[in-house]
Structure 1
């Protein structure tokens, strides 16, 4: 397993994010001078199973713009040499084979991603986004993995955390913009209602800051998506450990699109189902020891459909 990467060099990140073809505008709001006949010819010759079903603007651009916080192993992250890595990145390469276009990854702070999608800066958001009813009210979500939340504490320290009730009165770290601080704030209200002390919720811009807060003792534990919690603990050189036998908030991880992008949404859902059915999806999850949280059917807006992990 790879070690937890250091903070990404902005210059390297910018270089990695350069468009594959100079002059391409963002796919979500781009236009092209290519004649319609040329696009039709490309659709006829591109052998990818789903290329002909993509929106014409995406066919012209040849790329789909992804917004993602690329500091989140094992989902997606930069290796020391600047290469993009992670199981979601590997899954995206399998999707490219189905779609016949490439994904362009754009790195940004997690809490800026959904607002940027509404302004069409990106075509999709992809990267450990938990599916919720509230998010489905504003965006369309395509499920591709089960999710739950786990707690990470300083190794060798008795946190006294064995149940969710034990979080009351303790300082817990989380990354700003995710569901983790929302969950902690709601749980804190329950603590107060039950006559216990509230949770002190400490929020940070990124994962390195929340880990540091735990290591320095400012936070008793941090709340993270379980695959990442396990990864951070495993690659902390013995300084962190997962709080055993306690996972909360079981949900789906989903790819996010604006509700205007119905055509692209439906093609992407077909792409996910295709790689699930052909076995490439399971192969990647097994490689990363994540096959236990794989799904058999990709669904658009599963929460609204009443589907549970």
Structure 2
């Protein structure tokens, strides 16, 4: 009975908010450390492809966005515990994650993961490979013959290669390319690309089906009118995969 009363009260509150013309506030969880998907800019604000996209999706779905940053390692547990309502953090859609949370359709197409090293001779098969903890790349390395060295953030994985702790870093191509370009030739892509995951999607709790459907509809509309492709090109360049 208590559950029924609480549910009814929540419905009345939501209805009142809509009647007053106030959009529901959705807390959007992100890492703020995975450029150009998401990062903290010079002004100290969360910024990036997913922030701009998330704000557009919220507006289209009739929500107000409020951004929350969270360390990658605990980003899914803090979604399921209610600390925020969505995850937009460069998160690839995988079967393993889909057992714990739900995903919208992808808003960034499936892409390859790449190795980056200081030398073309880097040992990718039996060497030490750095990857961010709890990523599909870390899982892939763990199942290979290489030694996995995990770090909490993407920047730490790159630093491990630069300081000699790791022979290479394995990560999303879209994150690695700007790093390689900005290195001035110090870092280079080595080996073959590896296709992993089902693209990047918005994570939501399994109980928030109505919200997921609204965001799905907004993503579909942006794919159909070309505005999602425009945003991808803006943040990732003309060579980025598009819809």
Q: What is the deviation of 1:158?
A: 2.6
**Gap change, CA 1:37 and 1:116, over 3 Å in 2:** closer
Residues 200/102 of structure 1: CA separation in 2 closer, same or farther (3 Å cut) = same
4+ long deviations beyond 3 Å: 34-38
State how 1:98-247 maps to structure 2 within 5 Å.
98-142=60-104, 143-146=106-109, 147-154=111-118, 157-160=119-122, 167-188=124-145, 199-243=146-190, 245-247=192-194
1:305 aligns with: none
Structure 1 counterpart of 2:16:
38
Say whether the 8 Å CA contact 1:94–1:275 is kept in structure 2: no
Where in structure 2 are there 5+ consecutive unaligned residues? 1-8
- 1:35, CA displacement in angstroms? 5.5
1:231 partner SS: helix
- CA offsets, 1:25-68, max 9 Å, x none? xxxxxx88x866633424xx57xxxxxxxxxxxx4xx3211121
Instruction: Tell me the distance in 2 between the aligned counterparts of 1:97 and 1:129.
Output: 22
The structure whose Rg is larger is 1
- CA shift in 2, pair 1:290/1:176, >3 Å: farther
CA distance in 2, matches of 1:184, 1:244: 14
2:6 aligns with none
Per-residue CA deviations over 1:258-304 (Å, capped at 9, x if unaligned) read: 11111111111111112222222111112231664233xxxxxxxxx
The worse-fitting range, judged by mean Cα deviation, of 282-291 and 204-213 is 282-291
Q: Choose from 84, 91, 108 the match for 2:53.
A: 91
Aligned-pair Cα RMSD in Å: 2.5
Asked if 1 retains the 8 angstrom alpha-carbon contact of 2:107 and 2:201, the reply is: yes
Q: Which 5+ residue runs of structure 1 have no aligned equivalent?
A: 1-30, 47-58, 162-166, 189-198, 296-309
User: CA 1:248 to 1:170, structure 2 compared with 1: closer, same or farther past 3 Å?
Assistant: farther
